[in-house]
Structure 1
Amino acid sequence: MKPFQRILLTNDDGIDAPGLKVAEVIAAELAEEVWVVAPEHDQSGVGQSISLHSPLRVYHHGERRYAVSGTPADCVLFAMTEWLEETPPDLVLSGVNCGANLSDSVMYSGTVGAVLAAAHLGLPGVALSQAFLDRDAINYAPVSELAAGLIRQLWERHTEHCCWNLNFPDLPLARIKGNRITRQVPGSIRRARLVAGRDGRNLSYHWLTFERDPDSIDHPQSDVVALRDGRVSVMPLRPSRCDDDLADALWQKGEW
């Protein structure tokens, strides 16, 4: 028996991304009905941003399958407003992202941003990301074979928590040792970099990039170390960025 009646599926790599096709198969294993509402183009790195300065356009790509000219968060909000307000999904699934979303990158991820947007609407969500060593030969077998079963386990064992970031290592299935609950340990991004260039009219432009050093992270509960150890990283997320412990401590001291 499938655990969900309806899944809303999105991503940040775009409607034509190979990882989305993988996610559609996973979603079909879990739900009786799957809606795909994904960005028209690649929206990697947009986090939870929404489009306030440009209109949204929607393009029909088949039965319950649409592309939206916006961000992953836009796609979730658009779907919930246009089609699913009266019949909300039981789960919002985002991915499968081309590449891992770990450490500092989690806050920038559009894949994760869609899940957080869903959580703000009271909807449970799961972000799926597949690590790779060679972008030209991405192996989606780990997420393809393991994601549906893992999501079933999470819903059976942790029904009180509804928001997850799952990362799958780039390893043969036989070498994956299992799952590990992880936390977001910063330190993989050392600094931002600008790569300068000139366009066809000799006007300057810059590409923003990062200098990364994930090997510097050695915290045993970090998502980076989990993948390094051959484990699937299972990270619980929360939509609030408030430091609740500090807020409570300062509250006790009173106003000033």
Structure 2
Amino acid sequence: MKPLNILISNDDGVYAEGIDVLYAYLKKAGHKVKVVAPDRNQSAASHSLTLEYPLRVQKINKEDYLAVKGTPTDSVYLAVNSLLDTKPDIVISGINNGANLCDDVIYSGTVAAAVEGRNLGLPAIAVSLCGNTHYDTAAEIVGRIIDRIEECPIPSDRILNINVPDLPVEQVKGVRVTRLGRRMSSESVIEEKDLRGHPIYWIGPQADALDKAEDTDIYAISEGYVSITPLHIDLTAYQVLDDLSGWISKVY
């Protein structure tokens, strides 16, 4: 296939290992790659957009890299609309340090960066490594997938959320197309004291899986498979529109 103009972003920050491994892999494959990512870790930033203060962009000591003092969404928005000389053919967000499974996609800045790419009319994928060791495996999976983009484009209203088991590539069992699983409601808050005795709070760890049926992303990962989940941009619950119309008619 012809070389692609690829924009990489993430939510772990421009200095994250995953972004370096993905950049190196795609450059070696012959693609034209630019990195525009937050200047620091923005995990769980979701789809936040900075409106209260101006955004600053800095060149760092890496070719093709720009650091944005903002969110993942800011980074992709600025890159496509202002910073890049050539419009990207695809936006790739990742490789994230840690999984983005189940309800994680609601909070994930990694997924949000891909969604922003799709909002701007570009094919987009989010890729996460379910661990922090075998980034090379995730990069190779991404390479195989984008090789299919020209022949089989991603539908215009979807992004692909890809999770990769933290294994050597030869130990990955294959790829499964999955739906999102579901976690139990997490209500854990950790309360501590600062050095002056004032209370501080930490959001607790993720809850265990509630829905991990065989067709879910979390099950595929647990079995050593890559999970690919197509995500909607449109959040409308179409199946309840008629019922809601009947209900609301009795309210007003």
Whether TM exceeds 0.5 here: the answer is yes
Change (3 A) 1:111 1:198: same
In 2, are the aligned partners of 1:26 and 1:147 still within 8 Å (CA)? no
Q: TM-score, normalised by structure 1?
A: 0.87
Q: Which residue in the other structure is 1:79 paired with?
A: 79
In 1, are the aligned partners of 2:21 and 2:136 still within 8 Å (CA)? no
Q: Which residue in the other structure is 1:151 paired with?
A: 146
SS in 1 for 2:121: coil
**1:159, CA displacement in angstroms?**
4.2
Q: Which shows bigger deviation, 222-231 or 236-245?
A: 236-245
Give the distance between the partners of 1:250 and 1:30, measured in 2 at CA: 51
Give the distance between the partners of 1:31 and 1:112, measured in 2 at CA: 25
Give the distance between the partners of 2:244 and 2:195, measured in 1 at CA: 57
1:194 paired to 2:193: no
Q: TM-score, normalised by structure 2?
A: 0.88
**1:78, CA displacement in angstroms?**
1.2
Q: Which residue in the other structure is 1:237 paired with?
A: 231
In 2, are the aligned partners of 1:189 and 1:210 still within 8 Å (CA)? no
In 1, are the aligned partners of 2:191 and 2:200 still within 8 Å (CA)? yes
Q: Which shows bigger deviation, 23-32 or 219-228?
A: 23-32
Q: Which residue in the other structure is 2:34 paired with?
A: 35
In 1, are the aligned partners of 2:14 and 2:38 still within 8 Å (CA)? yes
**1:42, CA displacement in angstroms?**
0.2
**1:200, CA displacement in angstroms?**
2.8
Q: Which shows bigger deviation, 202-211 or 24-33?
A: 24-33
Aligned length: 247
Gaps in structure 1 of 5+ consecutive residues: none
Change (3 A) 1:149 1:203: same
Post-superposition Cα deviations, 1:214-253, rounded to whole Å, max 9, x if no partner, equal 3x43312100011112111011112221123333x45987
Change (3 A) 1:155 1:220: farther
SS in 1 for 2:205: strand
**1:81, CA displacement in angstroms?**
2.3
In 1, are the aligned partners of 2:37 and 2:72 still within 8 Å (CA)? yes
Give the distance between the partners of 2:218 and 2:166, measured in 1 at CA: 12
1:164 paired to 2:163: no
Change (3 A) 1:31 1:114: farther
Q: Which residue in the other structure is 2:101 paired with?
A: 102
In 2, are the aligned partners of 1:116 and 1:238 still within 8 Å (CA)? no
Q: Which residue in the other structure is 1:221 paired with?
A: 215
Gaps in structure 2 of 5+ consecutive residues: none
Change (3 A) 1:51 1:173: same
Q: Which residue in the other structure is 1:88 paired with?
A: 87
Change (3 A) 1:141 1:8: closer
Q: Give the partner amino acid of 2:25.
A: I
Q: Which shows bigger deviation, 221-230 or 170-179?
A: 170-179
Post-superposition Cα deviations, 1:54-93, rounded to whole Å, max 9, x if no partner, equal 3311111244310001110010111122223x73211001
| Residues 172-187 of structure 1: pairs in structure 2 closer than 5 A | 172-186=168-182
Give the distance between the partners of 1:40 and 1:250, measured in 2 at CA: 46
